[in-house]
Amino acid sequence: MDPENEDLSRELEAELEAHANAGEAGGQGGAEGAGSAESGGASAPQAKPEDEGLLGVVRDAAPARKPDAAAASPADGAETGQQPGDGAPKQPDNENYSDVPFNKHPRFRQLLSERNANKTDAERYRQVDTFIRDHGMSAQEAADLLTVGAMAKTNPAKAWELARPWVENLLKACGEVLSPDLQQAVQEGRMTMEAAYEVSRSRASVASMEASRTFESERREQQARDEQARSITAAAEEWENDRRAKDPNYDAKLEQIHREIAWRHHNGDRPKTAAEVKAQLDDAYKVVNAALQPPAAPGAPGRQAAPRNAVKPVTGGSVAGGNAKPAPRSMLEVVQQAVG
């Protein structure tokens, strides 16, 4: 070993021994030893200037110890009082709607927007349907006119092919095409062309007025029939709701009531007013109830047997297989005879 390295090694050993002795003295003397070290007492060896330089070189060469990240920083949320996940955005609750008030929930807003859009579409459809019906047009006529208008934008030749018959009939209806008798009068010189067109237009105007009156009359009649049908339907629904509320067994009787009503309608007994509908339903309901009543026991107190009509013997003719049965008076009697 070189003499220079040997000197350096000895100096390091001496320095380490001096530090070890200072630590033992500090542990035994407590505060007194600490005060002596601070005041430069004789209990700890004085470090030489060259030793201080050597220690500085060693400290500089040693890597600086980094503070433990786990010990230096508190746990997440420990300082602020927040818990993990408090700052995360909440997911929309599309099932229970608990994240926001219901009227502000995105799903509610979406449904409300769809409802308003559908309401607008339905109102437009009703306006178009009312316009078509008020002017006596059929659905096919309205579709044909729309098709002609659409084809005129892209295929005028096809549009004219579709519209030509309609235009020809329109010219005749407004008097712009002379009838055969007027054409003959013009050819024979008994009428000028201008006079013939005047007569043709006058005839078309009279026919148009008559057609308009007829159409208005038919439309009023149709409106009256529609209103009557609505009133009859409303009366039947009102009667049924009232009867169902009062009779807990109404649903069990419903099929037989329908059969009774169908039988009466088949025989021409069709009500024309709401009052007649309710009267017919009341009568059918009584018939069904009477048919469902159990027969009274013979001699039961408080009940009297219903009087029987005298049975007249059948005279004339022959019936195979036994006596003839009376004709059924309702659908219920048909079913009962078939079962019994």
Could you please report the per-residue DSSP string of 245-260? HH-TTHHHHHHHHHHH
Q: What pLDDT band is residue 72 in, cutting at 50, 70 and 90?
A: very low
**Whether the Cβ atoms of residue 204 and residue 173 lie closer than 8 Å to each other:** yes
**Whether the Cβ atoms of residue 11 and residue 51 lie closer than 8 Å to each other:** yes
Write down the H helix ranges in the chain: 3-29, 31-39, 49-61, 69-72, 106-134, 139-154, 156-173, 180-187, 193-246, 250-266, 274-292, 331-339
Q: Share the mean pLDDT of the chain.
A: 73
**Does residue 145 carry a pLDDT above 80?**
yes
For residues 161 and 313, give the distance between their C-alpha atoms in angstroms, rounded to a whole number: 76
For residues 256 and 146, give the distance between their C-alpha atoms in angstroms, rounded to a whole number: 49
Residue 113, phi-psi category: left (phi > 0), alpha (psi -120 to 50), beta (remainder): alpha
> pLDDT by residue (tens digit) across 203-242?
999 999 998 899 889 888 988 888 988 999 999 999 999 9
- Sort 256 into a burial class: Cβ within 10 Å, 0-12 / 13-18 / 19+: buried
For residues 69 and 79, give the distance between their C-alpha atoms in angstroms, rounded to a whole number: 15
Record the pTM.
0.42
pLDDT score at 180:
92
Task: Tell me what percent of the residues of the chain surpass a pLDDT of 70.
Answer: 56
The more confident residue out of 15 and 317 is: 15
